[in-house]
Amino acid sequence: MQVLHSLPKFKNPDMLVGTETGDDAGVYRLRPDLAIVNTVDFFTPIVDDPYIFGQISAANSLSDVYAMDIEILGEILRGGADKVIESGAVVIGGHSIIDEEIKFGMAVTGVIHPDKIFRNVGVQEGDVLILTKPLGTGIITTALKKGKASEESVNEAVKSMTTLNAAASLVARKHPVHACSDVTGFGILGHALGMASGSGVTLVIESAKLPLLRRAPRLAEKGYITGGCKRNQEYLNDKMVIDKSIREGLIQVALDPQTSGGLLLAVAKRHAAKLVDDLHAGGVPHATEVGYATSLQKSWVRLV
């Protein structure tokens, strides 16, 4: 996030979404009724199964737009391809590098009407925040690497990470959503900061309402947290307020970098219950109200 501050500010009337607000994808207008959406994401393996890793990586890359052994490599590519097919997209090419550690990801390109873009800014005072997936994937996969995650916890995390955000996006587009971000590397608190600072409001995250992966808080309390979680906490330290009554494990889950995380949606309070009901009916069972927006206070984000 700090690295982006050194980039020059590009100005173009057709650049509808650039780097200024840390949005999930770039958007460039081609004509009045058509814009192109582009994003890229990749990372090293976080699970042992190469096919599942390919699925997770593809789902993670696709999220932004609604973001060795040859046999093993083939399974990774097959997993990625199957998830792309599920999304309705196609793979048209690629690029490879030789390295000691496997990395896999995708550049994703789509099109959208310029008037129908979900931005991560635009949250209004009184809005309700809705999260569509449970939190804790970074903690679970870190514990997995140490051999300390149960099979049940890993299976639950894998199911979440390989689930596309397509259903959630489809439902959300039928509602008057004010702002949206996918919850990935900056954790829910980091992405809430981006939404709050870009909108001029304070976002209050209610810890008791957060949907959680099984055992994630307990594993965090045992020390199974990522380096990204620590960096998130350092960056957010002077930008958020955390209630002293919240136990440490829950704080770490709120800071935990997510892989292929859910969508964080801001919608007027009068529309929130209907949106949650429609998400549940549309195949998004974990969709939950997790907070709200207030007028700007002393900090951008509060965890209560």
What is the structure's pLDDT at 46?
A: 73
Out of 62-66, 67-71, 96-100, the most confident range is 96-100
Do residues 153 and 140 touch, judged by C-beta distance below 8 A?
Answer: yes
% of the chain with per-residue pLDDT over 90 = 58
**pLDDT above 80 (res 56):** yes
Q: How confident is the model at residue 71 (pLDDT cuts 50, 70, 90)?
A: confident
**pLDDT above 90 (res 92):** no
> 128 or 106: which carries more pLDDT confidence?
128
**pLDDT above 80 (res 43):** no
> 125 or 70: which carries more pLDDT confidence?
125
Q: Is the pTM of this model over 0.85?
A: no
Q: Compute the mean pLDDT over every residue in the chain, rounded to the nearest whole number.
A: 88
- d(CA 195, CA 5) in angstroms, rounded, equals 17
- d(CA 157, CA 149) in angstroms, rounded, equals 10
**pLDDT above 50 (res 141):** yes
pLDDT tens digit sequence for 226-274: 889 999 999 999 999 999 999 999 999 999 999 999 999 999 999 999 9
List own/partner pairs for 141-150 with CB under 8 A and 24 or more apart.
141/46, 141/47, 141/259, 142/219, 142/224, 142/225, 142/226, 143/219, 143/222, 143/224, 144/46, 144/47, 144/48, 146/224, 148/219, 148/222, 148/224, 149/215, 149/219, 149/224, 150/215
Q: What is the arithmetic mean of pLDDT over 147-163?
A: 93
Q: How confident is the model at residue 67 (pLDDT cuts 50, 70, 90)?
A: very low
Q: What is the arithmetic mean of pLDDT over 148-155?
A: 93
Give the DSSP H/E element, type plus range, for residue 272. helix 269-281
What is the structure's pLDDT at 116?
A: 85
